[in-house]
Amino acid sequence: MTRPHIAVLDYGIGNLRSAQKALEHAGARAELTSDGAVARDADAVVLPGVGAFGACMDALRANGLEQVVHDAVAGGRPFLGICVGMQMLFDSSEEDPGARGLGVIPGVVKWVPAGVPRPQMQWNKLTLCTDDPMFEGLGDDPWMYFVHSLHGVPEDESDVAATVRYGSTLNVAFRRRNVFATQFHPEKSASAGLALLGNFVKVASR
C-alpha cells in the first residue's frame, strides 16, 4: 500500500495535531495545513473540530477553507469529518441556530435529549447500520470514545452508518458518497479507532 497524502485542515481551533499523529500512525503522510492549495493536491481530506459549531464555522470561513471542503467533496476524494468537524457538515445546529453549516449532509445537529448527562463523556458501543469499508475489521460492536452534547439528524436516514444508546438512540457515524463522518474521536479510541483510521488510509491510497 502506498502512503497517501492526507490533508488535515487547520483553521486555528483546538488541538488538531492528535488527528494528524493518529493518521501518521495508521500509515498516512498526514499534513496539518491551512493552505488550500496543499489540501487540493492531497489524496484525502480530514476536517476535525472541537468547541462550538458557530465558532468553528466562522474560523473555517475566516481561513478560506470552506470552498476547499466543497471542492474535495465534489471531486470525490475520500473525506473524513471528526466530532465538531462532523457536525459542520450538516446544514445547521441547535447549538448556534443562526450559524450556517456546510450543507454536505442535509439535516440538523440536535441536542442530546434530556434525561442523561451532557456531554456524554465516555466509551460507548457502536451499533453498525451499514457494511461500510470504514468498519472493516472492527468486529460487530466496537467501542469508541465520545465527548459531545449534540448528534446529527440527517434528512435521509440512510446516511446514518452507526448509532449508540445513550438515553435514546443517537446517530454517531454517517456515510454520504465519498464522505464519512464520526461524532466520536477515533484518534482517542485505542485499537478500534486506529483500525478505523487505518481503513480511511486504505481508501485514500486507492
DSSP 115: T
Spatial CB neighbours of 114, under 8 Å, sequence gap ≥ 6: none
Q: State yes or no: is 56 an active-site residue.
A: no
The CA-based angle 84-34-185, given to 5 degrees, is: 30
Q: What is the pTM of this model?
A: 0.97
Q: What is the pLDDT of residues 143-175, one digit of tens each?
A: 999 999 999 999 999 999 999 999 999 999 999
Q: State yes or no: is 136 an active-site residue.
A: no
Q: Which of 56, 83, 129, 148 is catalytic?
A: 83
Question: What are the φ and ψ backbone dihedral angles of 19, each rounded to 5 degrees?
Answer: -65, -40
Task: At 205, list the grid cell.
Answer: 491510497
Q: Which of 56, 129, 151, 187 is catalytic?
A: 187
CA distance 113 to 177: 29
Mean pLDDT over the full length of the chain: 96
Q: Which of 56, 129, 148, 185 is catalytic?
A: 185
Q: What is the pLDDT of residues 10-52, one digit of tens each?
A: 998 877 888 999 999 999 999 999 999 999 999 999 999 989 9
Q: State yes or no: is 83 an active-site residue.
A: yes
Q: What is the pLDDT of residues 87-117, one digit of tens each?
A: 999 999 999 999 999 999 999 999 999 999 9
Question: What are the φ and ψ backbone dihedral angles of 71, each rounded to 5 degrees?
Answer: -65, -40
For residues 175 and 135, is the Cβ–Cβ distance under 8 A? no
Q: What b/e readout covers 24-33, taking b as 16+ CB neighbours within 10 angstroms? A: bebbbebbbb
